[in-house]
Amino acid sequence: AAGMPAVGSRLKSLERHDLFAIVEYFLFAVLVALYEEPEKPNSALDFLKHHLGASAPENPEIEALRLEVAEMKEKYEAVLEENKKLKTKVKIY
């Protein structure tokens, strides 16, 4: 058990390294696409967003899932409130 913190920090270090490697890969891919683009864009930031998918049209499934999550959050809040009221009632008896 004494070695666990070192293992945990090592894993975090690897995860951070993996994240940087992924970001580096995508940035390199966008730079290559920009280099190969015959007509250079007016806005490098818009080009970057477009190639990373930030300006892609919303997938209807994603919107449906967002709505479902919002509904679940509302239900969760209602259940928490009901639980709080019931705990108060139990304390009275």
Q: What are the tens digits of pLDDT across the range 39-76?
A: 988 988 888 888 887 655 567 888 888 899 999 999 99
Confidence category of residue 21, pLDDT binned at 50, 70, 90: confident
User: pTM of whole model > 0.85?
Assistant: no
CA 50, CA 33: separation in Å to the nearest integer? 11
The pLDDT assigned to 15 comes to: 79
Q: Is 53 helix (H, G, I), strand (E, B) or coil?
A: coil
Nearest to 26 by CA among 59, 55, 53: 53
The pLDDT assigned to 17 comes to: 78
